[in-house]
Amino acid sequence: MASGLLAELAYALGGPFHFLLPDAFTANLTAMQDALTAAGVDGFIYYAKKANKAAVFAERAAAGAAGIDVASAAELREALGHGVRGEHLMVTGPAKDPVLLRLAIVHSATLAVDALDELDQVISLALTGRVRPARVLLRVLPDAQPHSRFGMSPSELATALERCIQGGDAIRMEGFSFHLSGYALQPRADLAARLVEQCLRARVMGLEASRISIGGGLPVSYTDAKSWDTFLETQRPAHYHANKTFHSGDFYPYHSPVAGTRALAALLATRPKPSASTVAELLADAGIELLLEPGRALLDQAGATVFRVQGVKDRDGYQILTVDGTSLSLSEQWFNSEYLPDPQLIPLDQDAPSGVFPASVGAATCLESDMLTWRKIAFPHPPRVGDLLFYPNTAGYQMDSNESPFHDLPLPPKVVIDRTDHVRPRWRLDRHFT
Ligand SMILES: Cc1ncc(COP(=O)(O)O)c(C=O)c1O
């Protein structure tokens, strides 16, 4: 993005802002769809909407023949309003609001049912509503993550299958689902294979069981292996403002050797233990559709966040910058962690001197802990009031999942940069139908 356009936007909007690159989202989506086709897998992608609230990504999902994974009535309404058909919605989350359950059934969305009492509620809503059968997947509690609060245990699943049979025409049991924390491929492949077997057993019981959802969790690689390894080996409190301690294990894995679409292709080619077949082959042999709910990976390179430097203060050997927003617009701090891709300085002064100018970045709030970047970043120019700070690749979870108008500060607006049909990039504000 041209720094001139960023400076214009900063002036026009008069505060921090996010910009969105929907073409990157579409390119990621198309690449994932192509990877499914190349592996001979009948698959369908649901964009996990929780990863970003912008309307434009819902519009791009609809235009790209994808569905949307929603976890609230408001997300469902947004997805429908921006063009996604009800039958292309996946409703996830624990103990869903009855309003959400009812809307999902009315709109023929797929419900990933998380508990037995939820299943009972779904069946009774479908029976009393007499609109159409409820489409459900049964969410499994993963063996590998037995302490997860999501999903049903094997004995609960057995009961759930019985209740689906008893539910008759009120319910269509379409298969099973899971979502695993972490980013390893083998546990996903292993659990996918187990779900394929469960579908085959459920079919013997007379249920449809033709789809499995493997949730999200395709990793995004923000940096190269060498930078990441060096960072993890060398990072220590002296590198941070106030000698702050961060534990390496608490950081998102900012480097992944295989990420995004390549991780999907690798997953499809993985042989679940102890099978001789790959995930793709198991799915094809059993005639099962693979459903995915990627959030972060669809948003890779699809947005960034810009703040303006509002103050510069000297400390011993480094500076503290104060920007015109808060770390709530860069959510990672709120997970005992730090957003590690370095912010880039865009100086006002084109002739700013070069050198190494370490600085940490704080928010415009009265909270001691409200720091956007505790690390002392080695900026190549001396930061000055009015300069811009550009945080890259923030569309996936960073920019808005924790946002709050604390201190009555306005939420940073989202600017959509359209690059497709125009000779020069054009911008507009993201528009919701509310
Ligand atoms: C059920 C479910 N599906 C999909 C996702 C999206 O995961 P990711 O953004 O890592 O792809 C999540 C994330 O929490 C989830 O809970």
- Verify that 110 and 150 share a domain, yes or no: yes
| End residue of a domain, out of 268, 292, 316 | 292
Distance 48 CA to ligand 1 centre (A): 6
Q: Domain containing 127: what range? A: 22-221+256-292
The CATH number assigned to the domain holding 410 equals 2.40.37.10
Which of ligand 1's atoms lies nearest the C-alpha of 217?
Answer: 10
- Verify that 63 and 85 share a domain, yes or no: yes
Dump pLDDT digits (tens) for 62-79: 999 999 999 999 999 999
Distance 65 CA to ligand 1 centre (A): 19
Dump pLDDT digits (tens) for 350-405: 899 999 999 999 999 999 999 999 999 999 999 999 999 999 999 999 999 999 99
Give the closest residue (by CA) to ligand 1 atom 13: 216
Tally the domains of the chain. Answer: 2
How much is the average pLDDT of 122-147?
91
- Verify that 330 and 274 share a domain, yes or no: no
Dump pLDDT digits (tens) for 92-104: 999 999 999 999 9
Which of ligand 1's atoms lies nearest the C-alpha of 219?
Answer: 10
- Verify that 270 and 410 share a domain, yes or no: no
Distance 180 CA to ligand 1 centre (A): 8
**In this structure, what DSSP letter does residue 93 have?**
S
How much is the average pLDDT of 83-95?
97
Q: Residue 266 phi/psi, 5° resolution? A: -65, -40
Give the CA angle between residues 367, 370, 371 to the nearest 5°.
140
Pocket of ligand 1, candidates 178, 179, 213, 290: which has the most ligand atoms within 8 Å of its Cβ, to mutate? 179
Give, for 155, the enclosing helix (H) or strand (E). Answer: helix 154-167
- Give 300-328 as a DSSP string: TTSEEEEEEEEEEEEETTEEEEEESS-GG
- Report the pLDDT value the prediction gives residue 264, as an integer from 0 to 100: 98
- Verify that 208 and 325 share a domain, yes or no: no
Dump pLDDT digits (tens) for 251-279: 999 999 999 999 999 999 999 998 999 99
pLDDT at 335 over 90: no
| End residue of a domain, out of 246, 272, 292 | 292
- pLDDT > 70: percent of the chain: 99
How much is the average pLDDT of 44-61?
98
How far apart are the C-alpha atoms of 71 and 32, rounded to whole Å?
A: 22
The CATH number assigned to the domain holding 152 equals 3.20.20.10
Pocket of ligand 1, candidates 32, 293, 398, 400: which has the most ligand atoms within 8 Å of its Cβ, to mutate? 293
Tokens (6 digits) for 282? 């198991």
The ligand 1 site (C-beta within 6 Å) comprises 48, 51, 69, 92, 179, 215-218, 293-297
